[in-house]
Structure 1
Amino acid sequence: MYQKILITTDGSSVSQHTACAGVKFARQMGAEVLALFVAPEYQYPVYVEIVPPAYPSEEEYVQQMKRLGEEYMGSIMRAAEGCGLKHACMTAFSDAAALKIVDVAEQQHCDLIFMGSHGRSGWGQLLLGSVTNKVLSHTTKPVLVHRLIREPGT
């Protein structure tokens, strides 16, 4: 049914549990896995003339975020490899994570977006906003939302 599934992660324990569920789902479908971490865009210092000595350059920031993304997606890659699934990972940069997820799903020809929800409802969902809700409202692709009933470790 699904050939290529995009699994998103932000590195949190909730998204790591969701990613594991995504790999299990991909195994059931016999689908390829594409793991995605969306890092924020590089932010230049407010006063460009006076750059603090500890402030990373844009190149350093990009390399650091790519390393972080590989770390976050490592468990997804190991799980997919253990299941014998074709897999790849990608770090993308955007301050609008939801739109980048939708864009990557289109560009990489994914059949399904698999992502998590923290399970917030009511005011919490309204006030905090949700990448998942934004993805749902901006894509025409199917989105499977994996909802954790309670935080991992509780």
Structure 2
Amino acid sequence: MYRKILITTDGSAVSKHTACEGVKFAQQMGAEVLALYVAPEYQYPVYVEIIPPTYPSEEEYLVQMQRVGGDHLAPILKAAEAAGLEHRGMVAFADGAAQKIVDVAGAEHCDLIFMGSHGRSGWGQLLLGSVTNKVLSHTQKPVLVHRLVKAPGT
């Protein structure tokens, strides 16, 4: 049914748990996994006349965020490897994570987007996460929203 599944993570514990559930789902489908971490774009300090010497350059920031993204993607890729699935990780940069998720899903010809109902910015169980809600509003691809009933480790 699904041949390529985009699994997103924001690096939070909840998101990592959800992403590993996405790998289990991909294994049931025999689907390829594309794991995605969306990092914020580099921001120049706009309210200072001189950039402080400790402020990272754009190149330093990009390298650092690639490393951070790789760290967040590692558990997903490890789970996909253990499940015997074809897999790949991607770190993308955008100020709007939801639109970047939708764009990557289209560009990479993913059949399904698998994401959590809440991530780093979730407000408990009250509302659907803002990124998830925006993805649902902006894509025509199927989105499987995984709802975590209890926090990881409980």
Tell me the TM-score normalised to structure 1 length. Answer: 0.93
What's the counterpart of residue 121 of structure 2?
none
Question: What is the identity, as a one-letter code, of the residue corresponding to 1:102?
Answer: V
Is 2:49 aligned against 1:44? no
User: Match of 1:149, SS?
Assistant: coil
What's the counterpart of residue 109 of structure 2?
109
Deviations 1:57-83 (A, max 9, x none): 000000100000110000111110111
Equivalence map 1:1-154=2 (5 Å)? 1-47=1-47, 49-118=49-118, 120-121=125-126, 125=127, 130-154=130-154
Measured after TM superposition, the shift of residue 150 of structure 1 is 2.0
Deviates more, 1:43-52 or 1:91-100: 43-52
User: Match of 2:21, SS?
Assistant: helix
What is the CA–CA distance in structure 1 between the aligned matches of 2:106 and 2:125, rounded to whole Å?
A: 28
Question: What is the identity, as a one-letter code, of the residue corresponding to 2:59?
Answer: E
| Structure 1: runs of 5 or more not aligned | none
| Structure 2: runs of 5 or more not aligned | 119-123
Percent identical residues: 74
Deviations 1:102-133 (A, max 9, x none): 00000000000000013632xxx38xx61000
- How well do the aligned residues superpose, as a CA RMSD in angstroms? 1.3
Q: How many residues align?
A: 149
Tell me the TM-score normalised to structure 2 length. Answer: 0.93
Question: What is the identity, as a one-letter code, of the residue corresponding to 1:115?
Answer: M
What is the CA–CA distance in structure 2 between the aligned matches of 1:115 and 1:147, rounded to whole Å?
A: 9
Measured after TM superposition, the shift of residue 47 of structure 1 is 4.4
Measured after TM superposition, the shift of residue 90 of structure 1 is 0.4
Question: What is the identity, as a one-letter code, of the residue corresponding to 1:44?
Answer: Y
Measured after TM superposition, the shift of residue 149 of structure 1 is 1.3
What is the CA–CA distance in structure 2 between the aligned matches of 1:38 and 1:15, rounded to whole Å?
A: 13
